[in-house]
């Protein structure tokens, strides 16, 4: 195990600063975990060839599987209070409690380079990350700590070595900022990517914002940590086995978050020049929209920006654009029939983007459409006059 440690000391802090709002024009990018991309590509190649599948340890008995099996709904009801949201300045990820005194497991790439991280618990209370207790960059795992205001619910870790292809799996995460989304599927394969890394290939979907969330077996035990998705021809979703996480828990080596962020920050890439064209809508554009429509608009656009902005700032302009475009299509479908103004504004943003050849410009065309609608919604909420 490649466990890189940094100098630091254990400390506590009772301060509760509020989460800083993401910078709209140029939110800082979330550092990428470069090794994961290569290993996922290798695992995807193995999947395409149909090789590399197999159990990585002893099998659980059929009797114990049947005796304690739970439905996805039962797993979600029991586990959701221990699943958290992790927010940085322009980043969004998931995590889960592994100790009742505030230890949280997540992905390394969710927290890397982030000097200010807030953990949102199930009750919507926010708590700053105080330190990084342990991390394994090669396997995209990390454990962070918050000050626990009370004994917190935790999730039991299962035997990932007993996982077999065809076993049921449940994932809980926050795709596009949609908190506590539950999905289920099967363990498609156990992929031995190299001697130091095995990945769980699963059919349960993993989307941006779900990284770091737990993967459960049918007994509600965590068998993996959602890590990545590859889209070469088909959706291939991967999780890191819980066995690697157990090793990190045994040997914590705490460092302050600021030290960790400085050591793991990536250099900013050169980004293209931007010429904004944010439409200014009259309040009448919202005529016919219900309060529910406005909530759908605000939450979906903010969630898309939280996920798309870091991708853009990493240089992945195409993914950012597709996230924005997909969010626009989803909002057009979900808004009420009478909420015509925002539908037309979103459709116009998509048409403008489609006429452009550059992915960066397309992403900004959609972002302009979002910011124009967010502006008019805020003006309505604040009671501004026309």
Question: Could you say which DSSP state residue 157 is in?
Answer: B
- The encoded tokens of residue 76 equal 């979600």
Residue 210 bears catalytic tag: no
Residue 109 bears catalytic tag: yes
Nearest to 47 by CA among 196, 199, 185, 166: 199
222 beta partners: 157, 216
Nearest to 47 by CA among 233, 319, 243: 233
Dihedral sign for Cα atoms in the order 310, 271, 113, 19: negative
CA–CA separation, 190 vs 241, rounded Å? 9
Nearest to 225 by CA among 160, 180, 179: 160
Residue 211 bears catalytic tag: yes
CA–CA separation, 108 vs 26, rounded Å? 23
Among 89, 91, 109, 183, the active-site one is 109
| Angle, helix 359-381 to helix 340-354, in steps of 10 degrees | 160
54: left (phi over 0), alpha (psi -120 to 50) or beta: left
Among 89, 136, 138, 140, the active-site one is 140
Among 188, 210, 211, 319, the active-site one is 211
Q: What is the DSSP string of 356-383?
A: -S-HHHHHHHHHHHHHHHHHHHHHHHTT
CA–CA separation, 157 vs 219, rounded Å? 11
- The encoded tokens of residue 337 equal 């029939």
- Measured CA to CA in angstroms, residue 26 lies from 23, 272, 376 at distances of 6, 11, 21
Residues that are catalytic = 109, 140, 211
């Amino acid at each position: 195990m490649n466990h890189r440690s940094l100098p630091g000391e254990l400390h506590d802090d009772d301060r509760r600063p509020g989460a800083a709002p993401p910078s709209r024009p140029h939110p800082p990018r979330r550092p990428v975990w470069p090794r994961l991309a290569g290993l996922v590509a290798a695992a995807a190649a193995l999947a395409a060839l149909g090789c590399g599948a197999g159990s990585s340890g002893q099998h659980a008995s059929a009797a114990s599987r049947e005796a304690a099996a739970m439905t996805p709904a039962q797993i979600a009801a029991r586990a959701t209070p221990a699943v958290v949201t992790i927010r940085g300045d322009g980043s969004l990820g998931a995590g889960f409690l592994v100790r009742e005194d505030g230890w949280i497991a997540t992905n390394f790439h969710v927290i890397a380079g982030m000097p200010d991280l807030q953990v949102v618990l199930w009750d919507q209370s926010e708590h700053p990350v105080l330190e990084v207790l342990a991390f394994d960059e090669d396997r995209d795992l990390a454990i962070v700590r918050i000050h626990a205001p009370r004994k917190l619910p935790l999730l039991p870790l299962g035997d990932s070595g007993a996982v077999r292809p065809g076993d049921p799996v449940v994932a809980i995460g926050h795709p596009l900022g949609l908190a506590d989304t539950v999905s289920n599927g099967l363990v498609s394969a156990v992929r031995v990517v190299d001697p130091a890394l095995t990945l769980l290939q699963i059919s349960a979907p993993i989307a941006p914002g779900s990284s770091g969330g737990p993967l459960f077996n049918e007994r509600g035990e965590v068998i993996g940590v959602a890590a990545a998705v590859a889209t070469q021809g088909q959706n291939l979703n991967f999780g890191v086995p819980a066995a690697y996480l157990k090793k990190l828990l045994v040997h914590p080596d705490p460092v302050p978050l600021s030290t960790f962020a400085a050591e793991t920050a990536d250099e900013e890439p050169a980004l293209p020049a931007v010429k904004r064209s944010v439409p200014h809508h009259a309040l009448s554009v919202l005529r016919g929209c219900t309060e529910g429509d406005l909530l759908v608009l605000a939450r979906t656009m903010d969630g898309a920006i939280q996920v798309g902005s870091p991708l853009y700032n990493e240089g992945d302009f195409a993914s950012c654009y597709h996230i924005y475009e997909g969010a626009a299509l989803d909002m057009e479908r979900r808004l009420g029939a009478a909420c015509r103004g925002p539908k037309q504004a979103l459709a116009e943003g998509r048409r403008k983007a489609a006429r452009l050849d550059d992915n960066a410009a397309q992403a900004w065309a959609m972002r302009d459409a979002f910011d124009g609608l967010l502006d008019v919604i805020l003006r309505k909420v604040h009671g501004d006059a026309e």
